[in-house]
Homo-oligomer: A and B are copies of this chain.
Amino acid sequence: MKVEKVDRRVKYTKYMLKEALVALIREQHISTISVKALCEKADINRSTFYVHYSDPYDLLNQIKNEVLANVMLYLKEQDQDPTGSNFQLTTILEYAKKNSELFETLFSENCDYVFQDDILELSQIISSQYNMDMDETAKKYLKEFGTSGCISVFERWLQDGAKESPEYISEFLKKALQGGIMCFKNPE
């Protein structure tokens, strides 16, 4: 892994643009945010923006990748394998709670569901932990039901200030998933 040294000016520019975009997303939908307004908020020249990003969506995607990378890093710090299937959901929720303001913003409607897609993958890892011995159609829809349910509860939790503990939400989701599964399982 090569350690590319980044010019401090570049760091500054990108930092300001990211902060500005997140701030704007708190107020309006990403699709309505113009490059002009964004650069004014960040106090960065518009031409400079185009050196680094093609449009606000591009910037948002880069923010997303960083956030996800940080989540993975956190999982590793807690000695958990992000690719394995038996990591603790609680740990992710923990991290989200620590950064709940940012997460709430990024999971809001104003982000055009840029983040949901990736969380979907995570959710699928989680749901794959369960033994789902049932017919294929039921399995398909149950996965759909479970993953979207999980994401939605997660978002609601953030929206309401992440008051409950990560453990509570984690337990809730496990129970809810199990509950649905039990109803469709074939007798063994």
Report A's interface with B, CB cutoff 8 A. 31, 109, 112-113, 137-138, 140-142, 144-153, 156-157, 164, 169, 172, 175-176, 178-184
Contact = CB atoms under 8 A, between A and B. Distances in A.
B153 A145 contact: yes
Given A140-B156, A178-B183, A179-B179, 17 more contacts: A112-B112, A113-B113, A141-B172, A141-B176, A144-B149, A144-B152, A145-B153, A146-B149, A147-B152, A148-B148, A148-B149, A148-B152, A148-B153, A176-B180, A176-B184, A179-B181, A179-B184
Given A145-B153, A153-B141, A156-B144, A175 B183 contact: yes
Contacts of A152: 144-145, 147-149
A187 B8 CA distance: 62
B179 A175 contact: no
13 contacts: A31-B112, A112-B112, A140-B156, A141-B169, A142-B176, A144-B149, A144-B153, A145-B149, A145-B153, A148-B151, A176-B180, A178-B183, A179-B181
Contact of A184 (B144, B146, B175, B184): B175
Contacts of A164: 137
Contacts of A147: 152
A146 B183 CA distance: 15
A111 to B, nearest CB: 12
Contact of A141 (B142, B156, B180, B183): B156
Nearest to A150: B145
A140 B161 CA distance: 14
A156 B138 CA distance: 12
